[in-house]
Structure formats: structure tokens, C-alpha cells
Structure 1
Amino acid sequence: MTVQSAVVRVIGEAVKPLGFQRHGHSWYRVTSDLYAVINVQKSRWDESCYVNIAFSPVSQAENSWLPEPKCQVRFRLDSLKSVTPEGLRLLGVDSGREVSEVEFRSSLASKIGTPIAQFMSRITGLDDLKDALDSAVTERVFVHRGMRSLLDSAD
């Protein structure tokens, strides 16, 4: 099992109960005013992967789907304050080689899946997203100009 497929599976187990659906290497959810997607991207250099989290107004999702790069708010997992450096190392190329597959998946679940699910469970609308960006995410976030005005008016 590759790191990417293990991460996709663990994230799915964590966010499917929150209403997320799978689309390739991504999990997405549509609420009344917000579209959210979690994408697991394989590195082009080795077997490691990145976890990208993104949001857009629901009106931009065509047939309930919008790829992560087209979303108006985007950041990587390392921007989530609740994810530790130890958790991020699990996404690396050698992360699962020192332990059994069961131990590796358990570590992924506790250090990646659970923090993502806890973060995403709090965000069901624009107001929640604004609060989360203010409190649970570092400043390394791309926010499209059009989305800034929506978030500023979400109070």
C-alpha cells in the first residue's frame, strides 16, 4: 500500500461520517453555502504525499464537484495548528517502513485523520470558515480576492 492510498483511506474513514464523499484521491462535502474538499496529492519527486484542504462558495461547484486547485480558499495540512510535525512526517516516503501496516494506519488515523475530521466538523458555512481561519490555521493560506469580501461580510 502506498502512502497516498493509506492517507486517502484514513482520511475517508475520518470524514465520511461528516457527510464527505470520495472522488478519486479527494473527499468533498457540499453544505448550504460552502463547498469543502480534502485532496491527497502525490509528490512528483518521490512516494510522499501532501494533503490539501480547500473551500469555495457552493455556487462554484458544478454537479457538486470542484477540484481543489480551483477553490477560493486553499492550504496544506501543515497550516493546521492541530497537526504536529510528527504527524506531517507520516506523509513522507519512508514513514510506513519502520512499523507494521496496522501501526502505520493507526498513527495516520490519530495524527492526520482525527485532526482533519475535528477541523472539518466545525465548518459547515462561511461563518464557521472565517472563525476557523482566524483560530485554527496559520497565516499560510491562499484566499482569493472574491472570497475575502464574502468572509469579511460573514459575521
Structure 2
Amino acid sequence: MTVQSTVVRVIGEAVKPLGFQRHGHSWYRVTSNLYAVINVQKSRWDESCYVNIAFSPASQAENSWLPESKCQVRFRLDSLKSVTPEGLLLLGADSGRGVTEVEFRSSLAEKIGAPVALFMSGITGLGDLKDALGSAVPERVFVHREMRSLLDSTG
């Protein structure tokens, strides 16, 4: 089992109860006015992976699906304050070596799955996203100009 597939599975176990559905290596949810997606991207260079989190207005998701790369707000997991550097190391190519699969999955669930689920559980609308971008995701966030205007007009 690869790091990427294990991360996809662990994140799924954490966010499926929040209404997320799987699409390939991604988990997505559409609420009344917000689309959210969590994508697990394999590195080009080795077996490590990245976790990308993205949002767009729900109206942009065709048939409830929009790839993370086309969303208007995008950032990587390392931008979340709640994810520790130790947790990020679990996404590395050699992270599962020297431990059992059960131990690896348990560490991923605690250090990646739980923080992602906690963050995503609090974001069901544009106002929630605006608040989160101001507190839980302080840096390295791409926000498209149109979305910036939409968030600025949200109370």
C-alpha cells in the first residue's frame, strides 16, 4: 500500500461522516453555497504526497464535482495551524517504514485525519470559510480575485 492510498483512506475515514464523498484521490462536499475538496497528490519525485484543500462557490461545481486545481481558494495542508511538523513528516516517502501498517495508519489518523476533519467540520458556508482564513489558515493561501470579493461581502 502506498503512502498516497493510505492517506486517502485515512482522510476518508475522518471526513466521510461530515458528508464528504470520494472521487479518485479526492474527497469533496457541496453545501448550500460552498464546495470543498481535499485532494491527496502524489509527488513527482518519490512516493511522498501532498494534501491540498480547496473551496469554491457551490455553483461552480458541475454535477457536484470540481477538481481542486480549479477551485478559487487553495492551500496545502502545511498551511493549517493545527497540523504539526511531525504530522507533515508522515506524508514523506519513507514515513511508513519501520512501523506496522496499523501504527502508520493510527499516526496518520491522529496527526492528519483528525485535524483535517476538525477544520472541515467547521466550514459549511462562505462565512465559515472567511473566518477560517483569518484564523486557522494564516499563510500561503491562493484566493482568486472573484472569491476575495465574495468573501469580503460576506458578513
TM range (shorter): over 0.9
SS in 1 for 2:29: strand
Separation in 1 of the partners of 2:5 and 2:61?
25
Residue 100 (structure 2) aligns with: 100
Residue 141 (structure 1) aligns with: 141
SS in 1 for 2:36: strand
Q: Determine if the alignment matches structure 1 residue 73 to structure 2 residue 73.
A: yes
Q: Where in structure 2 are the equivalents of 1:45-124 lying within 5 Å?
A: 45-124=45-124
Separation in 2 of the partners of 1:116 and 1:64?
21
Separation in 1 of the partners of 2:146 and 2:137?
20
Residue 13 (structure 2) aligns with: 13
Separation in 2 of the partners of 1:144 and 1:125?
17
Separation in 2 of the partners of 1:133 and 1:19?
21
Question: Which amino acid in structure 2 is aligned with residue 127 of structure 1?
Answer: G
Separation in 2 of the partners of 1:129 and 1:19?
17
SS in 1 for 2:97: coil
Deviation at 1:138?
A: 2.3
Separation in 2 of the partners of 1:139 and 1:99?
33
Deviation at 1:60?
A: 0.4
1:66-106 C-alpha deviation (Å, 9 max, x unpaired): 00000000000000000000000000000000211000000
Separation in 2 of the partners of 1:104 and 1:123?
28
Question: Which amino acid in structure 2 is aligned with residue 3 of structure 1?
Answer: V
Instruction: Count residues in correspondence.
Output: 155
Question: Which amino acid in structure 2 is aligned with residue 25 of structure 1?
Answer: H
Deviation at 1:7?
A: 0.1
Structure 1 moving runs of 4+ over 3 Å = none
1:16-63 C-alpha deviation (Å, 9 max, x unpaired): 000000000000000000000000000000000000000000010000
Structure 1 unpaired stretches of 5+ = none
Separation in 1 of the partners of 2:98 and 2:132?
35
SS in 2 for 1:117: helix
Q: What RMSD over aligned residues (CA atoms) do the two structures have, in Å?
A: 0.4
Question: Which amino acid in structure 2 is aligned with residue 72 of structure 1?
Answer: Q
Separation in 2 of the partners of 1:57 and 1:137?
19
Separation in 2 of the partners of 1:138 and 1:149?
18
Separation in 2 of the partners of 1:48 and 1:92?
4
Percent of pairs with identical residues: 88
Structure 2 unpaired stretches of 5+ = none
Deviation at 1:139?
A: 1.5
